[in-house]
Amino acid sequence: MDYLLTDEQKMIQELTRKIAEEKIRPVAAKYDQSEEFPWEVIKVIADSDLFGLFIPEQYGGMGVNVLNLCLATEELSRACGGIAVCYAASALGTFPIVLFGNEEQKKKYLPDLAKGKKLAAFGITEPEAGSDASAIKTTARKDGNHYILNGLKHFITNGGDAEVYTVIAMTDKTKGARGGSAFIVEKGTPGFTFGKKEDKFGIRASSTRELIFTDCKIPKENLLSREGTGFIVTMKTFDMSRPGVAAQALGIAQGALDLAVKYAKERRQFGKAISSFQGIQWMIADMATEIEAARSLIYAVARMVDAGRTDISKESAMAKMYASDVAMKVSTDALQIFGGYGYMRDYPIEKYMRDAKITQIYEGTNQIQRNIIALEVIKETAK
């Protein structure tokens, strides 16, 4: 399919494909096994200015462009979904500042994030507040020129490794969802510590930790937007970032298909390459078609965002839901094509299946995406 990409977009695609093949693929299994944070690769990504793809030019970036971010994330994920999410999660943590930060906040935080000198993370989830984000218990109490944060966030990607955190806390519990506010919290602030690092099924190169706030005092200047807008900040952030999760899923699916086709051409049974069997060919045809359908949807949604459309919750949810379901199905079928060998860790394919699973869960599970889509469709139909 020709997506009529511009020269700049093709250049980003080629650059990230090269980084993926030369710098990520050779170390993907190592980081999957060790669960160390892949700083050596993050440095390569930073040196290539790729952290600038989601930051305006006046703050040191290359302009906020969601399609560019999707193209980069897709290519990096093709080699390793875990390493790619370390990059994409920094975009998730940065978007609230790009979308809602004031001039001082943007000047203070964005230049270092654009250069990849610092990573960002986003924290809303808590042990009792996952899909129901409005149930968060972390509080931010105003105290003169400061806010005092208390509470615990868990499952936070880049937790512990990022320097800049955008965090949602309740400033007024009596107001329910209208009582949440968004804050920027810097690593090293007294009262802000990290809990356990999770031992995960997939995306093991990416770090997932608890954020613990114990009388953590931050300047009032770290409030993003206004008090009470925390959940709007979150929803608008997710509208921008979900195409990126979809692109991660797409890259994982494409990477799994690439490996499966190569294997099918090499593996011989009944005196022939298994790629000559119709049963395998039909699987390949379905996988390739579903991947292309996901890609078309993601690029179309990313182009809507880049054209300035803000009413994109439905489309963004569709891209994330569809691409992640495709990634799970394609990576499962790819493993099937590898037969028993695919089940062994000696082969790279099982990692794709493990890495794919998370894309159906984070930034809102696919059940929640279906709720968002259905509500919008029903609303539109009632007009």
Ligand X SMILES: Cc1cc2nc3c(=O)[nH]c(=O)nc-3n(C[C@H](O)[C@H](O)[C@H](O)COP(=O)(O)OP(=O)(O)OC[C@H]3O[C@@H](n4cnc5c(N)ncnc54)[C@H](O)[C@@H]3O)c2cc1C
* Closest distance of CB 146 from ligand X, Å: 24
Say whether residue 157 binds ligand X (CB under 6 A): yes
| 3-state DSSP assignment of residue 283 | helix
Instruction: Report, in Å, the least distance between residue 129 CB and ligand X.
Output: 7
Site string for ligand X, 205-244 (x = CB under 6 A): ---x------------------------------------
What b/e string do you get for 205-242 counting C-beta neighbours within 10 Å, with b at 16 or more? bbbbbbbbbeebebeeebbbbebebbbbbbebbbbbbb
Q: How many binding residues for ligand X (CB under 6 A)? A: 22
Q: Given candidates 89, 211, 249, 253, which one binds ligand X under the rule CB under 6 A?
A: 89
Q: Which of 65, 125, 166, 324 binds ligand X (CB under 6 A)?
A: 125
* Secondary structure element (H or E) that encloses residue 370, with its range: helix 366-382
DSSP 20: I
Q: Which DSSP string do the residues of 145-171 spell out, in sequence order?
A: TEEEEEEEEEEEETTTT-SEEEEEEES
Instruction: Work out how close the CB of 288 gets to ligand X at its nearest, in angstroms, rounded to a whole number.
Output: 28
CB 292 within 8 A of CB 74: no
In the complex, the smallest distance separating the C-beta of residue 133 from ligand X, rounded to whole angstroms, is 8
Could you say which of 59, 109, 155, 231 contacts ligand X (CB under 6 A)? Answer: 155
User: CA neighbours within 13 Å on the CB side: how many for 345?
Assistant: 6
When asked if residue 124 is in the footprint of ligand X (CB under 6 A), the reply is yes
Q: Which residues have CB under 8 Å from 243's CB, separation 6+?
A: 66, 69, 70, 298, 301, 302, 305, 316, 319, 320
Q: Is 367 in the site for ligand X (CB under 6 A)?
A: yes
Smallest gap from Cβ 232 to ligand X, in A, equals 16
Binds ligand X by CB under 6 A, chosen from 131, 269, 289, 310: 131
Cβ–Cβ < 8 Å for 169, 210? no
- Residue numbers of the site for ligand X (CB under 6 A)? 89, 121-125, 130-131, 155-157, 200, 208, 358, 361-365, 367-368, 371
